[in-house]
Structure 1
């Protein structure tokens, strides 16, 4: 079949799942694009818009984090505006957005991930009017990683038949453990030591520390330390987004040039990631700013002060857009944390 281009809309927390899905879709003949590898310095919005326009269909990953992601909502709204076909798949229990509630979606949590994948492929082929050489997708074509996104949320048919094997497996494991405990020849200790060393080598302590603290500052430090090529870089960015659920407008600089923010983590003029040392250039979308002083927050729509909401010195915000009013000031639309 001729290749058709599929755009994947998803949350970065589901990246490992999506990578498996992408690989499986490509093996079915689809040309798949997802934003894991957008180059550093590339304008994010322009790239997303371009790829959405070129896509023949959109696969939307429905998960707890994706339905809360403003980026995902923007992608789907834009795709619907372009009259693109949206194929939602639900990989874990979550609230389906109102705009998609009436759309038919493939529920992997009920069908199982392999059966759900088969249904997705057939739906895409039907929607895109592709000739099907095979009516069904071979079993075992899609094997997602075992993650929080797909573990323990699938209805297991025939679970009563499985239970005796589970019990037998547990019993075998207990016997094995007893035999090991009774064999004190020094090999057990060596094995444990080697296994511990291997486990330690396979983890990412910096990322684990950032996740454990779940703080904006530690995620920022991690992002700067590892750079955009790191596998968890976008996870850290998404985590910051989750910690900044609110949107408003603030004054970045007064007409006389007095600034109320300094750059914290930002893209410099060369398109590279920079941290700490403000380059005195205008902020750009995606930059993280740190407040110098107390700043009022204005409503995005009516530009009126939001009473009870403000940014205090040292608090971090993310830039969404930059505006230049006639009075010579600089305003920025921001994401900001809860109080």
Structure 2
């Protein structure tokens, strides 16, 4: 039994019949929504119609020459069929019935209206008490012949809408390969040193020592001191202007103690080679990082952690909370990769609210290309931008979607999106 709301789709030229039929159904106990009866003063007309159509589960289309030419009426029919709502046509006058409605059973009010009312009752699936009252209320509104209103309701079962099975596509990701680097080194150079010998000076010292020894053997002890001093003086004069350390070492060893001892030792110390001291260049101290450099390093550390985890939730949280980060664009690319399905969703008008901006201040109107949105309600996603295109999936409330294209279709739109049935904004 039908317990939902019946939405009237019609041309204003057929208002007289429509208003009487709506009042007749309402008086019989059916739930009816009609723009001329139910839109409150001051309300936005397009928005009210769209919301009522979305909440209704049955669309009653009044077929006439005027209605089949109306883009608004045909948009409402397309939406109802696309959302698998019950669609019940009423033929009010002879006209070209749209192809998409020809397979549906319709109530023909161009002929026997009593029989047409019976067909309408069966097609709407009205509850028994509503159906039993409708004949009386329809007669009161001159919709049927009062003399025949007692005719029994025929059990006419409307055809069930064919719902194509959803299809699904999955993508895969190919991880990037890692790259390793190598380092090289260079050899060190070595230094060589040389030494010069003063053979002649050594010979002079040897001769001096020999002379001193010979004299020492031949003189008396009282003369030894004088001879030693003379030998010391002679040797010093011979070596004092040379640069041979060995000569000064020999003088100190042979004439110690002597008056030249301090001078000889100083000269010797000046001639001894000093060990090479390796000079080490101390590196210049690193400058202190600026606050901006510290902040960037911290931001990069957080982003590297997100990449290491490689999870949808981490990319989503980083994109939402790091609005000024230089790594936000990489997070955006990763989120789009997780939305691995593509399809189309019908958008009734620019006042529709099926999607809200996901991470930005809310706007008003048709979604914008290249933006993330969040679904405000469940919607069927089609494989193409036609109402009879097969379903490829669905979005749920809070689903994350990415708008790729906006296609105008009369006063309505088809929105091409990337989505995934298990990806949400929180």
Coarse TM-score class (shorter-chain normalised): 0.3 to 0.5
Larger Rg: 2
Scaled by the length of structure 1, the TM-score of the pair is 0.38
Structure with higher strand content: 1
Scaled by the length of structure 2, the TM-score of the pair is 0.31
